[in-house]
Structure 1
Amino acid sequence: MQFGYITHLFSGKAENVYAAASVGSHFILNNLLHFAFVMLFVRSHFHWAELVLVLNFVNLSSLYFRHHTYARFIHAPAVSGPLAWTFVAIYWNGALMVPHQHNLVARVFGNIFIWSILAYGSFFIVAYKDYTMGFALTVLSAAIGVAQFQRQVVALQWIFAFVIMALLFVMTVVIAVPAWAGRDLRWRRTAQTDSERAPLLTE
């Protein structure tokens, strides 16, 4: 997907080049920070890796709120996709960072915090009608569910993960289908027309 984003830097359309170039600095910083995270993670430096993830989360959040209106073929690979992954990675790496992560208290907190994925995704779906963020978090929730199921069948977290996946998927489809069909989905009733509000005319 990032390769597709890079190709738009060489597009023949000026608006595509401008949009791709506008997110370029954040895109480069994201890749550098992600590389740093991987190097720290594989060496089990989880505390430093968490710091890098938080910095990248700030970087990508700033990018999102400044440039969330760009075309989806730029938005998804350079903005919403990396942001969704970084948000989930903060919890993933954070769980590894905490000592005694297999005890009851850690599991309870894990079962609570996993619902933040639903809250986070719902915010972008409702506030920005961003189905790319919804799809990204849906896939990540499914991945968590599969991983937790393979790790421990008798547990709640994989059930919660699949429930979150299903809810995000439904909300995302509700937003995505009208967008693909060229219709604007409105959450509120439109105001009545002037003719409907006008008083009846007497003859």
Structure 2
Amino acid sequence: MAGFEAFNPFAKRESYSAQSLWTYRALSVITWLLSVIATGYYNCHSPHNDKAAYKHTIPGQNRHYATPFSLNFLIVDLYWLALFVFQIAYVWHLFSRDAARVQAATGVGSHFILNNLLHFGFVMLFVRCYFISAEVLLVINFFNLSSLYFRHGTAPRLIHIGATSGPLAWTFVALYWNGAIMFGAHNLAARILANVAIWGILVYGLFFLVAYKDYTMGFALSILTASLGVGQFFSKIIAFQWIFAFTIMAVLFLATLGIAVPTALGKELSFRREGAAVSTDQERAPLLDDQ
């Protein structure tokens, strides 16, 4: 077991060698660029393929395969732009002169690198209509990011948003979005099922707000649910889906403000479970208290 831990890139470590640190830095930058370039390119260009069915950008796929979970891509694009900026902040932590910041960033590095690779793979498959394979990658990434969240929930705020909550919120919503395309959810039965399934977003968001007081997840899911509501409103006005989406967005947003405003006013909030041990500098600076 000790030998496995030594080679396990996801294992928690008290310190990292200089070689390991530079490996994390290099792979984080390279895979982040890969993710950004693929997302940006296929947001504007379709794959170079002679088959007409494959001639779609990411927003083009969203329009062509309209489902009860189709999104508004103006909001999605703004979300991803903000997320990429937060991820730059995460990478900056890897190069910081503050040893505690470097340690916190390196601790989540393996999950961040895997997330970038899985997102790159998802984009490449999604624009080429391999929706089943794309969904598999989303499921893998959901477990990757969920593991990161529950193992490193006390990471500093900028690390948490860029590497954890921002990608996790997107991956959760993308499971609905791509899954609906994968199953061809177009008929009445599929829409009724979607009217029920959409409430899972509210349950998921409230879980993080109640259990961890994580306003970053609340805001992220609110934005993405707004994208869903706008997308559904303009695709099918006479339907329940956009009404449910805006209702969920409002509830999540108000609940999030209930957590974020007291924090901004100086009331201390912590992501740690009650009774959790505090043993390291990283754990002494929970996400909500770290500026």
Instruction: State if a TM-score over 0.5 links the two structures.
Output: yes
* Residue number in structure 1 paired with 2:196: 112
* Residue number in structure 2 paired with 1:123: 207
Question: Does 1:17 pair with 2:102?
Answer: yes
Give 1:182 deviation, angstroms. 2.1
Q: Of residues 164, 172, 177 in structure 1, which corresponds to 2:256?
A: 172
Say which structure, 1 or 2, has more relative contact order (CA 8 Å, 6+ apart). Answer: 2
- TM-score, scaled to structure 2: 0.62
Larger-Rg structure: 1
Aligned length: 185
Distance 2:146 2:205 in 1: 13
Residue 146 of structure 1 aligns to which amino acid in structure 2? V
Give 1:12 deviation, angstroms. 1.9
Q: Of residues 267, 274, 289 in structure 2, which corresponds to 1:183?
A: 267
Q: C-alpha deviations, 1:125-167, integer Å up to 9, x for none?
A: 0000000000000000000001111111111111111100000
Residue 260 of structure 2 aligns to which amino acid in structure 1? A
Against the structure 1 CA distance between its residues 6 and 119, is the aligned structure 2 distance closer, same or farther, given a 3 Å change threshold?
Answer: same
* Residue number in structure 2 paired with 1:28: 113
Distance 2:245 2:160 in 1: 25
Distance 2:256 2:110 in 1: 29
Q: C-alpha deviations, 1:42-75, integer Å up to 9, x for none?
A: 0111111100000000000000000011111110
Question: What percent of counterpart residues are identical?
Answer: 64
Distance 1:21 1:108 in 2: 44
Give 1:25 deviation, angstroms. 0.4
* Residue number in structure 2 paired with 1:75: 160
Residue 222 of structure 2 aligns to which amino acid in structure 1? T
SS at match of 2:267: coil
Give 1:98 deviation, angstroms. 0.6
SS at match of 1:135: helix
* Residue number in structure 2 paired with 1:197: none
- TM-score, scaled to structure 1: 0.89
* Residue number in structure 2 paired with 1:95: 180
* Residue number in structure 2 paired with 1:154: 238
SS at match of 2:125: helix
Question: Does 1:132 pair with 2:232?
Answer: no
Distance 1:128 1:62 in 2: 15
The structure 1 segments of at least 4 consecutive aligned residues displaced by more than 4 Å after TM superposition are none
Q: C-alpha deviations, 1:4-55, integer Å up to 9, x for none?
A: 1101111121111111111000000000000000111001111111000000
User: RMSD of aligned C-alpha atoms?
Assistant: 1.1
Give 1:184 deviation, angstroms. 3.4
User: Unaligned 5+ residue runs, structure 2?
Assistant: 1-85, 271-291
Distance 2:202 2:216 in 1: 14
Residue pairs, 1:40-79, within 5 angstroms: 40-79=125-164
Give 1:185 deviation, angstroms. 6.0
User: Unaligned 5+ residue runs, structure 1?
Assistant: 187-203
Residue pairs, 1:186-201, within 5 angstroms: none
Residue 244 of structure 2 aligns to which amino acid in structure 1? F
Residue 268 of structure 2 aligns to which amino acid in structure 1? D
Distance 2:155 2:243 in 1: 35
Give 1:124 deviation, angstroms. 0.2
